[in-house]
Chain A
Amino acid sequence: MSDHSPDNFQGYAKRCFTIFGVVMAITLMMVAVHFAHLPTALGIGLTLVAAVVNAALVAGYLMHIVSERKLTIIVLLFTFFFFAGLFVLTLGAHYSLPWGTSMH
């Protein structure tokens, strides 16, 4: 593949387990937030941020996106833009009502 060809199993394994440790720590933090019964918006916000960080760790390090060529990263960025578009615009349409009408 590229420059990140592993030559040392032990060293690589150590780095992997470190990532695992961080991912599990963040996961347990999310569980703690759940049991703390924080106000809804705050709870959701914190949990989502944590999930995104976990995802970034897995995608970045385990899937080696950090060491991928620009091409792959660009394709993925476009994908996420469309992914975001799907969410944001659909919700936008849901919350957008004609004048004088109200939800429910």
Chain B
Amino acid sequence: MHASSHAAPHHDHAAAAHHDDHAEPNFWRKYIFSTDHKVVGIQYGLTALCFLLFGFGLMLMMRWQIAKPGQPIPFVGDLLYKVLGDVAAGGVMSPDLYNSFGAMHGTIMVFLAIVPLAVGAFGNYVVPLQIGACDMAFPRLNMASYQFYFVGGVIMLASFFIPGGAAQAGWTSYPPLATTVPTNGQTFWLIGMVFLITSSLLGSVNIITTIIQLRAPGLTWMRLPFCVWAQFVASFLLLLAFPPLEAAGVMQLVDKLAGSSLFLPTGLAVGGATADISGGGSPLLWQHLFWFLAHPEVYVLILPAMGLIADIIANNTRKPLWGYKSLVFASLGLGFLSFIVWAHHMYLTGMGTRIATFFQTTTMLISIPSVIILTCLLLSLWGGSIRFNTPMLFAIAFLPMFGIGGLTGLPLGFSASDLHLHDTYYVISHFHYVVAPGTIFALFAGIYFWFPKITGRMMNEFWGRVHFVCSLVFMNVVFMPMFAQGMAGMLRRMSDGGVNYSQLSSANEGVQGALSPFIIGLNNYIVWGAVCLGLAQIPFIINLFWSIKHGKKVGDNPWNATTLDWATPTPPPHGNFLTPPTVYRGPYEYSVPGAPKDFSPQNEK
């Protein structure tokens, strides 16, 4: 359906904003090939949510195999066999398939779901609005960045269906395993990563330039909403940390396609025979280059989330954030330090104590800005007039959940305790706590909070609370037991759920440290928790789509917020603001003594 070439008559204010714009674009230019940051943001958001669900599905199937090794997966087992063939013979997940799903779960969740949602969706949609700009600095680059992301995602998904299946060497793709697995899944992974890294690069250049150059008059750096600061620092991390991984990815591609040995050591034996390679390469080199990105990457996962939480907390406590300056300087310090901690992922690679101590020290130091940020957010609740709406519930829950995640990182940061905990379920639990009831809760909060700005309607509050309570409970049912499992010594990436290393296996008769049946039994609770967690998302999905057409209609600023994003018409038209805003005050002027309302918008004189 091609729109005709005149603006829709009932959008008078939109037409006014269009005065320098031309004809109403057709469907393709408006929704698919749009350069408008809001459309790009929504595209990122919807695509990322689909990947989030898909990655969750992969995990569900894995958890079934872990809890009930060798048993056919209910409902989807036959479908898996039909689609993927022998790796799912009889509807049972084979170890190879388990490894594939594991590698892709991690890759999809980190690179295709969370970062695109946190930075691509929220960054693109909210940042130009909050700084009073009419769009991003480079709109066409923005569109291109989404397209690269989309292509990268397609390549990653396609890899499931090629002979041999998807990549199987973990999201970390360590060589020599990653290179020597004789199938092409890893090649697809590497090519997909090149597209995703390119997308990320274009996006981060855009966000940083936009924040530097397009701030409205009066919007000084220290008047920026913390949400914008968080996106700024996260974008710098993406900009500077991704390229070494791109370099490493290219090198691994050359190893795989041209038979070189950049990461393959001399004397490597594959399948019992000495490999026909030149040797001389270094598997550790890959680890250094990978973790050089992957550590700052985790701060990219958490910083935008903290930004969203900060705005939502300030708004729903009706008071300014506690320690705005501390938040800003802590996030800058966090960003800076994140580049020099990476080898705490490599304590068991044979590094000597001197360099291990260096990384341990910087890792301990980086917990300081983290704690500062969390403390500021927590203290912001003190004395607040708290409104317990759905976004605020998620925001408040974020605090202890992230607290658990962050604190459990400390024993991992100390090289001595990490000797015991490395590569166990303790690590899995730690990072899932930070990302799952951490970042994802913040993203949910953001969706509920900004939904009325995007659509002009509120999401249903009752089902929002159901979603919240169920998600909170079941997240903890799934991840809390994993700390115990990890401390008992259960290792990661075991497709039989640890049975081979447990007392349940007769081969381990009298072996000290074999996992107890209790620890193995926790897997059952975890899988049912995961299933319930999945069911808890159904009200959210329905709510999201249903409310677009049937949610309670609201005005331009239903939350009575102060930041510039709430000073636009709803939904914001092309160009965002009817008149270019000027900023007169800071971002969180709530309950200012003597003011007429309990909030003083940034752009009101």
Contacts and interface: CB of A to CB of B under 8 A. Distances in A.
Interface in A76-90: 78-79, 82, 85-86, 89-90
Interface stretch (B79-87, B273-281, B339-347, B504-512): B339-347
B353 A94 contact: no
B350 A79 contact: no
A93 B353 contact: no
B32 interface: no
A79 B240 contact: yes
A17 interface: no
Interface centre among A89, A93, A96, A97, by most chain B C-beta atoms within 10 angstroms, is: A93
A78 B350 CA distance: 30
Interface string B327-364: 00000000010011011001001111111101100000
A43 interface: no
B288 A93 contact: yes
Contacts of B350: 97-98, 101
A92 interface: yes
Contacts of A101: 350
Contact of B340 (A78, A85, A97, A98): A85
A93 B346 contact: yes
B240 A96 contact: no
Given A86-B244, A86-B292, A90-B288, A96 B351 contact: yes
B299 to A, nearest CB: 14
Contacts of B355: 89, 92-93, 96
- For chain A, what secondary structure do more than half of its interface residues adopt (helix, strand, loop), or is it mixed? helix
A70 to B, nearest CB: 13
Interface in B24-83: none
A99 interface: yes
A78 B359 CA distance: 19
Contacts, number: 45
B381 to A, nearest CB: 34
Nearest to B335: A78
Given A82-B240, A97-B350, A98-B350, A92 B358 contact: yes
Nearest to B357: A96
Interface string A57-93: 0000000000000010000001100100110011011
Interface in B301-318: none
B355 to A, nearest CB: 4
Chain A interface residue bracket vs B: 10 to 19
A89 B240 contact: no
B284 interface: yes
Contacts of A94: 284
B82 to A, nearest CB: 47
A85 B356 CA distance: 15
A98 B348 CA distance: 11
A99 B352 contact: yes
A6 to B, nearest CB: 24
Contact of A96 (B285, B292, B356): B356
B288 A97 contact: no
A53 to B, nearest CB: 25
Interface in A24-80: 71, 78-79
Contacts of A78: 240, 336
Contacts of A92: 354-355, 358
B300 to A, nearest CB: 15
B240 A98 contact: no
A89 B292 CA distance: 10
Given A79-B240, A82-B240, A94-B284, A89 B343 contact: yes
B284 to A, nearest CB: 7
B343 A98 contact: no
A89 B358 contact: yes
A79 B336 CA distance: 10
Contacts of A90: 285, 288
Contact of B354 (A79, A86, A96): A96
A71 B212 CA distance: 10
Contacts of A86: 244, 292
Given A98-B350, A99-B353, A93 B343 contact: yes
Contacts of A98: 350-353
B266 to A, nearest CB: 11
Contacts of A79: 240
Contacts of A82: 240, 339
Contacts of A97: 350-352
Nearest to A94: B284
B590 to A, nearest CB: 32
A82 B354 CA distance: 20
A86 to B, nearest CB: 6
Contacts of B212: 71
A14 B350 CA distance: 56
Interface of B: 212, 240, 244, 284-285, 288, 292, 336, 339-340, 342-343, 346, 349-356, 358-359
15 contacts: A78-B240, A82-B240, A82-B339, A86-B244, A86-B292, A89-B355, A89-B359, A92-B355, A93-B351, A94-B284, A96-B351, A96-B353, A96-B355, A98-B350, A101-B350
Interface of A: 71, 78-79, 82, 85-86, 89-90, 92-94, 96-99, 101
Given A79-B240, A96-B352, A99-B353, 12 more contacts: A78-B336, A85-B339, A86-B292, A89-B340, A90-B285, A93-B288, A93-B343, A93-B346, A93-B355, A98-B350, A99-B352, A101-B350
